[in-house]
Chain A
Amino acid sequence: MIAAQGIPLVAFLAVAAVLFCIGLFAALRRANAIMVLMGIELMLNAVNINLVAFSRYSAPADAARGQAFALFVLAVAAAEAAVGLALVIIVSRRRNTIEVDKIDTLRG
């Protein structure tokens, strides 16, 4: 209870919401594949802040669930980033670009 003393839950949630919106904006702008991946990572970090903050302020019986969920999210995000970066490397080698809008052989 020491760390959270005086800081209301809504402050954590506000940080998470702002982080989520920044990430969403970066992902939807679709400028560059790395930027999209980084935007998605920001969104996942926002999720983790939410989960950990909620678990800090929840009943003791419910607290562990949020922390466990956050750990799963971290692990899966790492796997997703690894596959994502591998695909970006393949695309950049074959096409010399990672601009999402220029990767457009498939359309119709």
Chain B
Amino acid sequence: MNFGAVWPEIVVSGVGTLLVALDPFVSAARQRWFGYVCLAGLLLAGLLTLGEPVGGGSVLGGMVTLDGFSMLFRLIFLAAAALVVLLSLDFILQRGKDLGEFLSLLCFATTGAMVMAISRDVVSLYVGLELLSISSYVLAAFLRDESGSHEAGLKYLLNGALASAILLFGLSLTYGLTGQTSIPALTHGLASALHTGYAPVVWLAVGMVLAALAFKIAAAPFHLWAPDAYEGAPTPVTGYLMVVAETAGFVALLRIVDTGMGPLAAHWGPWLAGLAIFTMTVGNVTALWQRNIKRMLAYSSIAQVGYVLVGLAVATPGGVSAAIFYLVAYLFTTLGAFAVIAALSVRDPGDAITDYAGLGRRSPALAVVLTVCLASYVGIPATAGFMGKLALIGAAVHGGMAWLAVGIAVNSAISIGYYWTVARTMWVDPAPADGGAVAVSPAGATSVALTLVGVVFLGILPQAFFWLSHWAGAGILR
């Protein structure tokens, strides 16, 4: 066995184990060091990923493939995890919680997401998905004395486990139809099973896999758990779930549906298109009524899932690469917004939008970053979100689904309504009498600055990332 291919995963899970083992021996005053150890481990894993040869071949008995897609998504997950570590240090320490335990769960969840990214077999993909999900359930319930947090954890678990069971039933049927669990083998097996009289079973399997993964990415009408889980979870965890757990859901969709069920694209494409338009509309319209910023961003993230689904629905290589680009843009935009929210809630637990009144005068830097992130969500030019939406609209028009492009445009217009409310509250409304400047720690400031650079860089010089997402998505659609 050649374990060289999975060194990045070994390092990240090793750091997780190390942190939980050292945790009892490190005094509360020195817990901050766990954050630096964790960041060093994530950086090392990133360097190891970059150093690996990209062959597209398979290793570890065909369970793992090292193609461009696995490389790019490993790096995406590592970058997102590192940003979440930075923005969670003070949030967790201020609440007197165990940072070592928190970070080790974060490492295990990230390992799961990375295993999904490199999987070439539904068995390893499922194990990665569950490692990510089970760690995420605990992370969501991490502030277990707060009523919102343990409720979020329980609801996330009950819905996530239900979705996993449905996914597994679908996968057990694809195994029965083809005798295979490797994804490239499913591609051929399912297409031929369709013509041997087992068509209804093929449809049942495809439908169950699609519905279960729609649950995991929180696409409407399977999204009802998401606002509760995202609102109740600790703020850094909400950012992590929105970015890593949802992106991992898209990794599973791209691998199992686009690759494994690729020859059936003419059949599942229209379903995904309907799911996309319904998801973005439900997300945007419901977000208009929200008064809590985390809950508002939860509905906004549901809307973003709808936009990304457009790239998958058109089932063209251009659509896949546009979806991958949008996921990267979404990573920086969402973590930027959550870096600001986490910085503000280090001392003050309030998440109401009215708590942001006068932020433009109290802390102009934070207000500017949050405004840029909201502009990126809307798709204002010179931000990452604009380039992402441009790519998706282009893919929809070229893929012969121009009505999806119209859907994106109309929904972006609707979304201005609620993003504008937050911007107006920050810049126009007067600050409360007791509201002074918000103190931001160096770690928090670093996470804010890095995400801002990401959002602006992708908006002004997107060519390199367009090329990367095209390269990574090249082998996905079969």
Contact = CB atoms under 8 A, between A and B. Distances in A.
A72 B377 CA distance: 39
A5 interface: no
Interface in A22-81: 23-24, 27, 30, 33, 36-37, 40, 43-44, 46-47, 50-51, 54, 58-59, 61-62, 65-66, 68-69, 72-73, 76, 79-80
B165 interface: yes
B152 interface: yes
A4 interface: no
16 contacts: A50-B176, A54-B179, A61-B179, A65-B179, A65-B180, A72-B123, A73-B126, A80-B130, A83-B157, A84-B161, A87-B141, A87-B154, A103-B155, A104-B151, A106-B151, A108-B289
A83 B227 contact: no
Interface residues of B, number: 45
Interface residues of A, number: 45
A71 to B, nearest CB: 10
B100 interface: no
A69 B182 CA distance: 11
Interface string A1-33: 000000000000100000010011001001001
Interface in B235-252: none
Nearest to B127: A72
B74 interface: no
A58 B231 CA distance: 47
Nearest to B135: A83
B414 interface: no
B172 interface: yes
B407 interface: no
Contact of A37 (B126, B141, B161, B179): B161
Given A51-B172, A68-B123, A87-B137, A106 B161 contact: no
Nearest to A105: B147
B151 A44 contact: no
B181 interface: yes
A80 B161 contact: yes
A54 B165 contact: no
A47 B161 CA distance: 13
A107 B123 contact: no
A59 B179 contact: yes
Interface string B157-175: 1100110111011011101
| A-side interface mostly | helix
Contacts of A107: 228
Contacts of B168: 43-44, 47, 73
Interface string B446-477: 00000000000000000000000000000000
Contacts of A94: 145, 147, 150
A66 B177 CA distance: 12
A30 B95 CA distance: 33
B154 A33 contact: yes
B228 A91 contact: no
A94 B123 CA distance: 37
Contacts of A40: 158, 161-162, 165
B291 A47 contact: no
Contacts of B137: 83-84, 87
Contacts of A87: 137, 141, 150, 153-154, 157
B150 A50 contact: no
Contacts of A47: 165, 168-169, 172
Contacts of A104: 151
B283 to A, nearest CB: 14
B39 to A, nearest CB: 27
Contacts of A50: 169, 172-173, 175-176
Contacts of B152: 106
A85 to B, nearest CB: 10
B148 interface: yes
Contacts of A13: 176
B416 interface: no
Contacts of B141: 87, 90
B290 interface: yes
- Which of A36, A68, A73 has the most CB atoms of chain B within a 10 A radius of its CB? A73
A107 to B, nearest CB: 7
A72 B122 CA distance: 11
Interface string A81-102: 0011001101100110000100
A103 B176 contact: no
B148 A43 contact: no
A66 B162 CA distance: 21
B58 interface: no
B255 interface: no
B157 to A, nearest CB: 5
B292 A72 contact: no
Contact of B158 (A44, A95, A100): A100
